[in-house]
Amino acid sequence: MPSLKDIKKRIGSVKNTQQITKAMKMVSAAKLRRAQDAVVAARPYADKMLDVLSNLALREESGVHPLLQERGKGKALVVLMTADRGLCGGFNTNISKKAERFVRENEEGFEDYDILIVGRKGNEYLKSRVGDKITKVHEHVTGNINFGLASLLGEEIIEPFVNETYDAVFLVYNSFQSAISQELTVSQLLPIVPKEIEGDGYSAEYIYEPSRGEVLEQILPKHINVQIFRALLESVASEHGARMTAMDSASKNASEMIGKLTLQYNRARQAAITKELMEIISGAESIK
């Protein structure tokens, strides 16, 4: 049975851990608020731009621009978005497993895949499993998400697609639902897939100025960058939500453990006192 000193030391250790988890929960809650505001602000623009570009892609021939070109089922690029830090429950593991399944099960029927990873944790999980397919890893970038970062990633994705190194590009990330809910998402980024027109089938007509080619040349890459930016924001907001939930659970578990250890300490202390009393009484009886 542990000594009173050992139990008391363990109680102090758990209390120190609880202070850390509570502080991390508060930090994540503050970051989540900002990240959630950023996601909510970005969604309408990204959704509307996707609608417009899908409408354009529906009326254009696939060969009018390289980013609209549908090719064979040769090789695809999977862009996985994870976090640089842990302590956020199953956030990193679940999305990494989703990417691994996507590659191994070959859901879209492509012959081969490469993986581009954003976030250190995704690389740590996949390098021992599908390390030969990882082409590049971006670490320590999720702490400062901006459109410039999304544009740089867009260039790394668009160039090999235009050069026909890849026939398709897929994004794998956590879509933010709430602080306790994230949806594992796989979406096709390239080529841009036409979106079927709902309702009465009405399709808006567009006038291109200065020309169709120049407009598409400017707007299509920007669309890709916007969708990457949105996915990054979704992933970061999901990370903070998952970490806040995980730290809240850890704090509650620490409280339960402190209660159990305190009870164990009191019982051990009572047993020690009882033992001392019995020894005193036995000694007094032996003198008589």
Strand arrangement, sheet containing 168-178: 134-138, 112-118, 75-81, 168-178, 181-190
Look-up: residue for tokens 């009018």? 64
Radius of gyration of the chain (CA): 28
Question: Which residues carry out catalysis?
Answer: 88
CA dihedral 155, 156, 162, 165 (to 10 degrees): 180
Backbone angles phi, psi at 22, to 5 degrees: -65, -40
CA distance 141 to 144: 6
- 220 with 53: CB under 8 angstroms? yes
**Encoding tokens for residue 134?**
């990882």
Alpha helices in the chain (DSSP H): 4-59, 91-105, 120-130, 147-162, 212-287
CA dihedral 274, 275, 280, 285 (to 10 degrees): 100
In Å, the largest CA–CA distance within the chain is 116
